[in-house]
Structure 1
Amino acid sequence: MTHLVWFRNDCRILDHAALTEACKRASRNGRPVKAVFLWTPGQWERHDYGLARQYSWSRALDELNSQLARLGIELSILHADTWLEGVETLAAFARENSVTDVYFHREFGWDEVRRDQTLLEYTSRSGIGHHVFEDRVIQTPEHLLTGQQDVYRVFTPFKKRWLSLYQEAGMKAPLPAPQPVADAIMPTATVPDVDWDGDTDMPLTEHSALEQLDRFVNAMPRYRDQRDQPGTDGTSRLSAALANGAVSLRQCFQAAFTHPQASSDGVQTWVSELIWREFYLYLLYWRPELAKHQPFYPRWDAFPWSGDRDTLKHWQQGKTGVPIVDAGMRQLSESGWMHNRVRMITAMYLVKLLQIDWREGERWFARQLLDIDFASNNGGWQWCASTGVDAAPYFRIFNPYTQSERFDPNGHYIRRWLPELSGLDVRSIHNPSDAQRRTLGYTPTLVDYKTARADTLARFKQL
């Protein structure tokens, strides 16, 4: 008779409702607790999750393996190609280990919902208890509707309602680590070794994520002023840990709302960014077609996208001739991460200047990012393409050169990721002359900004 905790995007022991409840029940009835994680590379391939994301999971699972062992809990990594096959593997594990109850956190994607529904059908037939908890969001999507009982399509009223519900309910403290259910054991899981060739110092484990959150608390009041400067270490750097669940949203919100300067612009701006994550998951719940690469607003998706694969490849390799874009794409390929301001610049450059389908960019980011979260990635790309909820209007087209001058005025970010341009002065580094490009061996631009912008606007107007 065993309690089974199914870990997914929640690789931690603190503030883990499913694990905590399993351990509480085990302490009352004296039954053991086991834990599993489904390793499904075929499914991840279908979702365009690349080696960087798998590396993030492997690092988090390495530490989780040891943490659970100290609680007397065995972790098993179950291998299957797809999630639906994984449920069969999980069912076999449950039979072999006399599982009486399964505990996990709810997820919102189309395939995730189908997977969990399949497990629910099995547990119902088998008489196994099925315990589902909220983890990915603070406010459940069912409770966040407009006064007309409709879905929010604009972020600001969504945020206002979110905060109202949060204040009404009162802040719930993150859960502590559960009490051990047995004597400590040796770690049991064999975590797959992922051969990712990137180099990162991003926190990927629970311990490193909490250390980073503590450091960021000191910088949080300056977040609004520094978050858009890619040459400055002004972001939380917690996106990968949030994606694999090494740190919880509740822990992040508590750090913000209990901050001595909680009302400052910096702290409130970070709160807004966290609520944006929930907004995109909320939309994925109510509009499951988003998980099938469909636009939120189909009107603009009739744009005649270019199918030029060579142009796409130049963008992917950071060879567009636009320094801020190329710096971002090289940061992505080498470190598995890209600064958020630069994500917007590179995305809008691909979609609205190179006129390539936003889904190509969404797919490439998913394959490269350590912190890939489908809902946030999809929402960001649709925002840039003007096809998404609360999106930039079609006529908003970032000028990558002025963006570069504004947010990386001294060229620190460009110099780090494009060392071939490091000797240029602060004026030239944002857009080298033809002579400088030839001398330094730097690529010419793929398109002329003004010409490409005018053409894109004309094409949008025709729609």
Structure 2
Amino acid sequence: MTATHLVWFRNDLRTHDNAALSHACSLAQNGDRVLAVFLWTPEQWDQHDYGTPRRFAWVDALKTLEHRLAALGIEFSLLESSDWQHGVDDLMALAKAVNARSLSLHREFGWDEVQRDQYALACAQNAGIDRHVFEDRVTWDPSQILTGQGEMYRVVTPYKKAWLRQLADVSLSTPLPEPKAIGPAIQTRVHYPKVQSLAQVELPLNETAALIQLDRFIDLTVTDYQTQRDFPSVDGTSKLSAALANGAVSLRQCFSAVLQHPKRDHPGLQTWLSELIWREFYHYLLYWRPELAKHQPFYSRWDAFPWRNDKARLDAWQNGQTGVPIVDAGMRQLAHTGWMHNRVRMIVAMYLVKILQVDWRLGERWFARSLLDIDFASNNGGWQWCAATGVDAAPYFRIFNPVTQSQRFDPEGNYIRRWLPELSALDNRQIHSPDAVPGYSKPLIDYQQARAETLALFKAL
């Protein structure tokens, strides 16, 4: 009977720079086949607060992956199960049915992911299936990047220095090519669950689109990244966050694009490199502190903050009705596109936790449900940074003034006008802090008073 080599895809939905796929293809000899599998587990994602936008992004990426694999002579199967426990059981049943000889996959971090993979690898071992686990979510093994005292890093700057020292062996960070075809192209017809689409999608979600966008960004935009990335009305970011979240493009491919650039020392490229390392740092933290996936603050002393958890305030924030234009514009962009500019994410997050005094975990959960590019480690790290509860966080006394942030980063109000058409007639001064405007909300709260209250509460801790 023909042997089968399974590749278990998760958040690595690409054919380039895919160690698990490349290894499985290298094992397929003498008529062996490679079968790619993805577990569709909606009840599990409900537990993780992954909403419709994230599932829409998965479907888009999976459809492209299916066609790219078919061109390599590789079949693709989507297994629908309620959760990861049943999904692994279904995967093992498939493995038995197809005479699986090996299972290749990439390591993932997070509490539930680690438990899932330990169970899956134990089942595979009991079934006599060879197991092959590769690194993917990070470039360097987190257990190998330690302080001089052999401890994890808690601040990103020394972590970045240690990370960069690893580049002495450039071959370790060189992306793998797409594997060669193992046979003639095949036709596949995978049934995908119906997922509601968004009103607008501004990000590439699949491998083909992501590779085009990466080339475009590197060729046309990256040298301006340092000066343009904070302005939400400007196309100054990579727009690769969703592709990085579902693995349609890898961090290694992005790092390689910087390192091979003729102007690799340019401030724009170095700034983007630093942002990519921040992303890897958040996964590094999740490796060392998997309990972060249980919504715990990195530093437990901040758990005593008396969060208001005011439903009316939370609802107004979620619906873009706070009366603060830059905040409302960001929340409406999120609702329509499943994405929000990173500078605006910081503004709306800090407004929720340090002005409205709503628990950061409620904001984290809303982002998870609403974002195309939701990546737990980055989302959790970003919210804890804004709430001053996490490692390398903004200190509790750093509180963004949303009006001055708006004046600085959207000086002509172009971003606000796009998402709040009811304010479009206001001049460039009024639009950041308007008086009563028909059809637009009044401010929920007095900023200066709320800021003073928050500082007093934090200082008491």
Q: Is the 8 A contact 2:326 2:402 kept in 1?
A: yes
| Structure 2 equivalent of residue 113 of structure 1 | 114
Give the drift of 1:310: 1.0
List aligned pairs for 1:71-86, cutoff 5 A: 71-86=72-87
CA distance in 2, matches of 1:362, 1:312: 12
Amino acid at match of 1:374: F
| Structure 2 equivalent of residue 451 of structure 1 | 449
| Structure 1 equivalent of residue 191 of structure 2 | 190
Give the drift of 1:197: 3.5
Q: Which runs of 5+ in 1 are unaligned?
A: none
Give the drift of 1:316: 0.1
| Structure 1 equivalent of residue 221 of structure 2 | 219
CA distance in 1, matches of 2:258, 2:443: 43
| Structure 1 equivalent of residue 236 of structure 2 | 234
Q: Is the 8 A contact 1:72 1:184 kept in 2?
A: yes
Amino acid at match of 2:138: V
CA distance in 2, matches of 1:159, 1:45: 34
Give the drift of 1:70: 1.1
Candidates 325, 335, 338, aligned match of 2:337:
335
Q: Is 1:413 paired with 2:415?
A: yes
CA distance in 2, matches of 1:249, 1:349: 30
Give the drift of 1:196: 3.0
Distance 1:396 1:172, change over 3 A: closer
Give the drift of 1:344: 0.2
Per-residue Cα deviation, 1:192-213 (whole angstroms, up to 9, x for no partner):
2311343203101111001100
State the SS of the aligned residue for 2:38.
strand
| Structure 2 equivalent of residue 157 of structure 1 | 158
Per-residue Cα deviation, 1:130-172 (whole angstroms, up to 9, x for no partner):
0011111111101011000001000000000000012245464
CA distance in 2, matches of 1:280, 1:332: 22
State the SS of the aligned residue for 2:182.
coil
CA distance in 2, matches of 1:118, 1:308: 40
Amino acid at match of 2:174: A
CA distance in 2, matches of 1:370, 1:359: 19
Amino acid at match of 1:442: Y
Give the drift of 1:377: 0.1
CA distance in 1, matches of 2:356, 2:344: 16
Share of identical aligned residues, percent? 62
Q: Pick which of 162-171 and 136-145 moved more.
A: 162-171
State the SS of the aligned residue for 2:201.
coil
Candidates 343, 346, 355, aligned match of 1:353:
355
Amino acid at match of 2:330: G
Q: Pick which of 174-183 and 442-451 moved more.
A: 174-183
Distance 1:140 1:146, change over 3 A: same
State the SS of the aligned residue for 1:23.
helix
CA distance in 2, matches of 1:47, 1:172: 31
| Structure 2 equivalent of residue 3 of structure 1 | 5
Distance 1:68 1:172, change over 3 A: same
Q: Is 1:294 paired with 2:325?
A: no
| Structure 2 equivalent of residue 249 of structure 1 | 251
| Structure 2 equivalent of residue 21 of structure 1 | 23
Amino acid at match of 2:357: Q
Q: Is 1:36 paired with 2:37?
A: yes
Amino acid at match of 2:244: L
CA distance in 2, matches of 1:196, 1:112: 27
Q: Is the 8 A contact 2:20 2:105 kept in 1?
A: yes
Give the drift of 1:65: 0.9
Per-residue Cα deviation, 1:171-228 (whole angstroms, up to 9, x for no partner):
6432111111121110232222311343203101111001100110121111010000
Q: Is the 8 A contact 1:199 1:334 kept in 2?
A: yes
CA distance in 2, matches of 1:158, 1:173: 20
List aligned pairs for 1:47-66, cutoff 5 A: 47-66=48-67
The TM-score with structure 1 as length reference comes to 0.98
State the SS of the aligned residue for 1:3.
strand
Give the drift of 1:302: 0.8
CA distance in 2, matches of 1:243, 1:29: 36
- Where in structure 1 do 4 or more consecutive aligned residues deviate above 2 Å? 167-173
Q: Is the 8 A contact 1:74 1:189 kept in 2?
A: no
Q: Pick which of 304-313 and 314-323 moved more.
A: 304-313
Per-residue Cα deviation, 1:297-317 (whole angstroms, up to 9, x for no partner):
111221100021011000000
Q: What is the number of residues matched between the two proteins? A: 458
Amino acid at match of 1:322: V
Give the drift of 1:53: 0.2
| Structure 2 equivalent of residue 258 of structure 1 | 260
| Structure 1 equivalent of residue 385 of structure 2 | 383
Amino acid at match of 1:99: A
CA distance in 1, matches of 2:189, 2:38: 12
Per-residue Cα deviation, 1:54-82 (whole angstroms, up to 9, x for no partner):
00000001111111111111100001111
Distance 1:171 1:87, change over 3 A: closer
The TM-score with structure 2 as length reference comes to 0.98
Q: Which runs of 5+ in 2 are unaligned?
A: none
RMSD: 1.0
Amino acid at match of 2:376: F
CA distance in 1, matches of 2:194, 2:22: 28
